[in-house]
Chain A
Amino acid sequence: MSSHDHEHEHSLVPSEPALRIKALESLLVEKGVLDPAAVDEIIDVFEHRVGPRNGALVVAKAWTDPEFRKRLLADGTAAVRELGFLGMQGEEVVAVENTQNVHNVVVCTLCSCYPWPLLGLPPAWYKSLAYRSRVVIEPRKVLEDFGLKVSDDKEVRVWDSNSEVRYIVLPERPAGSETLSEAELAELVTRESMIGTGVAKAPA
Chain B
Amino acid sequence: MSVTSKEAVWPIVTSSGHLRVELDRPARYKVGDRVLTKNVNYPAHTRLPRFARGKIGTVHLVHGGFPFPETMAQSGDPKPEYVYSVRFEARELWGAEGSPKDAVYVDMWDSYIEPAPETGR
Contacts and interface: CB of A to CB of B under 8 A. Distances in A.
Interface of A: 32-35, 37-38, 40-42, 45, 50, 77, 81, 84, 86-88, 91-92, 94, 109-110, 117, 136-137, 139-140, 152, 154-165
Nearest to A137: B94
B47 interface: yes
Contacts, number: 116
Main SS of chain B's interface residues? Answer: mixed
B9 A42 contact: yes
B42 interface: no
A117 B14 CA distance: 8
22 contacts: A32-B3, A33-B3, A35-B5, A37-B6, A40-B6, A41-B9, A42-B9, A45-B10, A45-B13, A87-B13, A88-B13, A91-B19, A94-B63, A136-B104, A152-B101, A155-B103, A156-B101, A157-B104, A158-B104, A160-B107, A162-B47, A165-B85
Contact of A35 (B4, B51, B104, B109): B4
Contacts of B39: none
Given A33-B1, A164-B66, A159 B17 contact: no
A117 B10 CA distance: 12
Given A110-B49, A164-B19, 9 more contacts: A38-B3, A41-B9, A84-B14, A86-B15, A117-B14, A136-B93, A157-B103, A160-B105, A164-B66
Interface string B61-76: 1011011000000000
Contacts of A91: 17-20
A38 B14 contact: no
A86 B6 CA distance: 19
A155 B13 contact: no
Given A35-B3, A92-B19, A110-B47, A163 B107 contact: yes
Contacts of A162: 47-49, 106-107
B107 to A, nearest CB: 4
A94 B9 contact: no
Residue of B16, B66, B106 contacting most chain A CB atoms (<10 Å): B106
B102 A139 contact: yes
A93 B112 CA distance: 22
